[in-house]
């Protein structure tokens, strides 16, 4: 089910076995990963690395996933990084709405289904790839426009 490889993922979960399982799934997809234990560490990982996507647990010590998402989405440098929320406890529609309103693009319930998680991660990474292509095209158009203006002013 590998669509692309070489992307970088932050896995934020306070439970070691969840981090281990998620890292194996991400590794099977051919991506790099960084594991952290709380939302504060997730934000630090985003600031210090070129991250493509975040898998974030809702309930964690120090800083929970919802507060971390709000911080990430309020920072111009990280606001466009997609975040998939995960939870084993807060699984109601209300919790889903809270996560999506905070800025998550998707929500997955624990225990994880490997195929479902891979599909959701790949969908989010396709979004990242498309976004990066649009930005690159926009920058190329601006460069071409600048060259035309410079040529006309000569």
CB 53 within 8 A of CB 12: no
Q: Of the candidates 1, 6, 19, which has an alpha carbon nearest to the alpha carbon of residue 112?
A: 19
Residue 118 three-state SS:
helix
Sort 96 into a burial class: Cβ within 10 Å, 0-12 / 13-18 / 19+.
Answer: middle
pTM beyond 0.85, yes or no: no
Question: pLDDT: is 13 or 99 the higher one?
Answer: 13
Residue 75 three-state SS:
coil
Half-sphere exposure of 143 (CA within 13 A, CB side): 6
Residue 5 reports pLDDT greater than 70? no
Query: What is the tally of helices (H) and strands (E) in the chain?
Result: 5, 5
Question: What average pLDDT does the segment 120-135 reach?
Answer: 81
Q: What is the pLDDT of residue 39?
A: 93
Question: pLDDT: is 22 or 90 the higher one?
Answer: 22
- The model's confidence at residue 2, banded by pLDDT at 50, 70 and 90, is very low
Long-range contacts of range 129-137, CB-CB < 8 Å, 24 or more positions apart? Answer: 129/4, 131/80
């Amino acid at each position: 089910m590998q669509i692309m490889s070489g992307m970088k993922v932050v896995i934020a979960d306070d439970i070691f076995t969840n981090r281990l399982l998620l890292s194996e799934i991400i590794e099977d997809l051919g991506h790099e990963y960084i594991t952290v234990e709380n939302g504060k560490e997730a934000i630090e990982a985003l600031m210090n690395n070129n991250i493509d996507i975040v898998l974030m647990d809702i309930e964690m010590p120090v800083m929970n996933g919802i507060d971390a998402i709000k911080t990430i989405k309020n920072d111009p440098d990280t606001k466009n990084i997609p975040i998939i929320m995960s939870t084993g406890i807060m699984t109601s529609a209300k919790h889903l709405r809270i996560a999506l309103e905070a800025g998550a693009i998707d929500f997955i319930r624990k225990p994880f289904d490997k195929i479902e998680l891979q599909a959701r991660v790949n969908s989010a990474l396709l979004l990242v790839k498309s976004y990066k292509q649009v930005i690159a095209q926009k920058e190329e158009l601006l460069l071409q426009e600048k060259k035309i203006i410079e040529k006309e002013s000569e």
